[in-house]
Amino acid sequence: MAPELFLAVTLIGACFTFNAYLPQRAFGAMVVPSFFAGWLTSELVGHHFAWQLLATVGFVAAGALERWPGWLGLAITLASWAGLYGLAVRAERASDSVEAALRDDLGEGYRDAIDPALATRIEQPLHPGRRLVPFLLFDPEVRRIGALPYAPEHGARGELDVYVPRSGASRAPVLFQIHGGGWIIGDKRQQGLPLMLQAARAGWVCVAANYRLSPKATFPDHLIDVKRALAWIRQHIAEYGGDPNLVCVTGGSAGGHLSSMLALSANDPEYQPGFEDVDTSVAACVPFYGVYDWTNSTQRQKHGGMESVVERMILKTPLATHRKEWEKSSPLFRVHPGAPPFFVIHGSHDSLASVEEGRLFVERLREVSQAPVCYAEIPGAQHAFEIFHSKRTTHVVRAVERFLGWVVTRERSHRAA
């Protein structure tokens, strides 16, 4: 029995490894399972190797190699380990990808343009154990002030958290994080934490906000809420050591859509009912694996689920009769010359949000924007790759910090002039 069981277990492990290289991106039923399997394998390569090694040692000790199925299982395991090694090498390549993206659009000497004090704090090493225990999403050097109401009438969905250095902050730049979840699920404490914790360690003040969710909420409720959260930042963030006039925004997936919409619809009164006079511009935007075209006008989305979800649960109007409404709710159709600097990040193996659509969004931005537009396509990365600590997450977070450091230095220089 041990040889056959060992063979079955090795096939399962090999399927995880194979899926990380060739995830399902086009056909409905398997897209979500393929995402989860590829995501956890790609970002937790060492952990996958560890469980496969322990399983192999245990089965061999139980006599798995006494018959041919056990030897076949061992061969499959060795091939799977070779594949895992390749995934680890690919994760390391994220460092070159993000650095090349910044150099291409900010210039070869962009690092020299970053304030030396900011640059020094950016390169602080991670605390020991973060990669060994990747879901250890807190930092002893960072303090979280939670559940602050910015829209009290919406209960917990109208609350935000502020992350500050325990050593204190004064006129620090602000990073505003918008969570994802398909505009339907998600919470401010679930996403963006590796970036926020590292930024707070480097002296930033970070804000993560909830917003109303569909199907109860109908777009643009979601965007109005994040703009109200930004209005709260303008009014209150100085109390926590932040600079209300130097706010950058980021977010992943639906948060990538909302952060891009926020950056591209600054001061649009349609999305600021009752607070039309508040400045809702941002200094920069860093969307991760966002959705940029609800209409799928160029057929870049590989599977057709997006239109159905938007029509039934989010916009609640049919595309066929309300195309203009769909377009104005899509960042792809909101690009303009006055857009702030963007650093668009997408995984090459994303199963849920089309990387091809991300490329198109960057092309359109670069055609018209007067500000820099950086684009990093992360080799082998799945959707949501930077939600917890990993080698790839570390490289990308460092690059985002450098981009934001460059933006902050430039903004402060312009003010001084």
Q: Can you give the pTM of this predicted structure? A: 0.95
Instruction: Answer yes or no: do 143 and 288 share one domain.
Output: yes
Residue 357 has pLDDT above 70, yes or no: yes
Residue 265 belongs to domain spanning:
108-416
Distance CA 375, CA 100 (A): 9
Residue 28 has pLDDT above 80, yes or no: no
Query: Does residue 103 lie in a domain region?
Result: no
Query: Does residue 299 lie in a domain region?
Result: yes
| Mean predicted confidence (pLDDT) in 312-336 | 96
pLDDT of residue 27: 62
Between these two residues, 57 and 127, which has the higher pLDDT value?
57
Q: How confident is the model at residue 299 (pLDDT cuts 50, 70, 90)?
A: confident
Instruction: Answer yes or no: do 47 and 116 share one domain.
Output: no
**Active-site choice (97, 253, 330, 369):** 253
Extract the tokens encoding 22: 């060739």
Q: How confident is the model at residue 129 (pLDDT cuts 50, 70, 90)?
A: low
Select from 43, 41, 51 the least CA-distant residue to 77: 51
Q: How confident is the model at residue 416 (pLDDT cuts 50, 70, 90)?
A: confident
- Catalytic site residue 265? no
| Mean predicted confidence (pLDDT) in 181-195 | 96
Instruction: Answer yes or no: do 32 and 168 share one domain.
Output: no
Residue 147 has pLDDT above 70, yes or no: yes
Query: Does residue 100 lie in a domain region?
Result: no
Which of these three, 22, 56, 91, is where a domain ends? 91
| Mean predicted confidence (pLDDT) in 176-187 | 97
Query: Does residue 97 lie in a domain region?
Result: no
189, 210 in Cβ contact below 8 A?
no
pLDDT of residue 32: 86
| Mean predicted confidence (pLDDT) in 177-182 | 97
| Mean predicted confidence (pLDDT) in 220-232 | 98
- Catalytic site residue 253? yes
Number of domains in the chain: 2
Q: How confident is the model at residue 128 (pLDDT cuts 50, 70, 90)?
A: low
Query: Does residue 182 lie in a domain region?
Result: yes
Residue 187 has pLDDT above 90, yes or no: yes
Q: How confident is the model at residue 113 (pLDDT cuts 50, 70, 90)?
A: very high
| Mean predicted confidence (pLDDT) in 257-283 | 98
pLDDT of residue 303: 66
Q: Give me the chain's average pLDDT, please.
A: 94
Q: How confident is the model at residue 121 (pLDDT cuts 50, 70, 90)?
A: confident
329, 291 in Cβ contact below 8 A?
no
- Catalytic site residue 297? no
pLDDT digits (tens, 9 = 90+) for 375-396: 999 999 999 999 999 999 999 9
Instruction: Answer yes or no: do 145 and 180 share one domain.
Output: yes
Instruction: Answer yes or no: do 406 and 310 share one domain.
Output: yes
Q: How confident is the model at residue 298 (pLDDT cuts 50, 70, 90)?
A: confident
**Active-site choice (97, 161, 350, 389):** 350
Residue 123 has pLDDT above 80, yes or no: no
SS (H, E, C) the chain: CHHHHHHHHHHHHHHHHHHHHCCCCCCHHHHHHHHHHHHHHHHCHHHHHHHHHHHHHHHHHCCHHHCHHHHHHHHHHHHHHHHHHHHHHHHHCHHHHHHHHHHHHHCCCHHHHCCHHHHHHHCCCCCCCCCCCCCCCCCCCEEEEEEEECCHHHHHHHEEEEEEECCCCCCEEEEEEECCCCCCCCCCCCCCHHHHHHHHHCCCEEEEECCCCCCCCCCCHHHHHHHHHHHHHHHHHHHHCEEEEEEEEEEECHHHHHHHHHHHCCCCHHHCCCCCCCCCCCCEEEEECCCCCCCCCCCCCCCCHHHHHHHHHHCCCCCCCCHHHHHHCCHHHCCCCCCCCEEEEEECCCCCCCHHHHHHHHHHHHHHCCCCEEEEEECCCCCCCCCCCCHHHHHHHHHHHHHHHHHHHHHHHHHHC
Instruction: Answer yes or no: do 63 and 183 share one domain.
Output: no
**Active-site choice (48, 222, 257, 383):** 383
Instruction: Answer yes or no: do 77 and 113 share one domain.
Output: no
pLDDT of residue 63: 92
173, 404 in Cβ contact below 8 A?
yes
pLDDT digits (tens, 9 = 90+) for 325-340: 999 999 999 999 999 9
Q: Which amino acid is at 184?
A: I
Which of these three, 58, 91, 124, is where a domain ends? 91
Q: How confident is the model at residue 41 (pLDDT cuts 50, 70, 90)?
A: very high
Report the 10 Å Cβ neighbour count for 405: 24
Percent of the chain with pLDDT over 70: 97
Distance CA 188, CA 200 (A): 16
Q: Distance of CA 12 to CAs 155, 157, 324, 408, Å?
A: 44, 40, 47, 47
| Mean predicted confidence (pLDDT) in 70-86 | 95
Report the 10 Å Cβ neighbour count for 271: 21
Looking at residue 171, which CATH number applies to its domain?
3.40.50.1820
pLDDT of residue 304: 65
Residue 132 has pLDDT above 80, yes or no: no
pLDDT of residue 167: 93
Which of these three, 62, 91, 120, is where a domain ends? 91
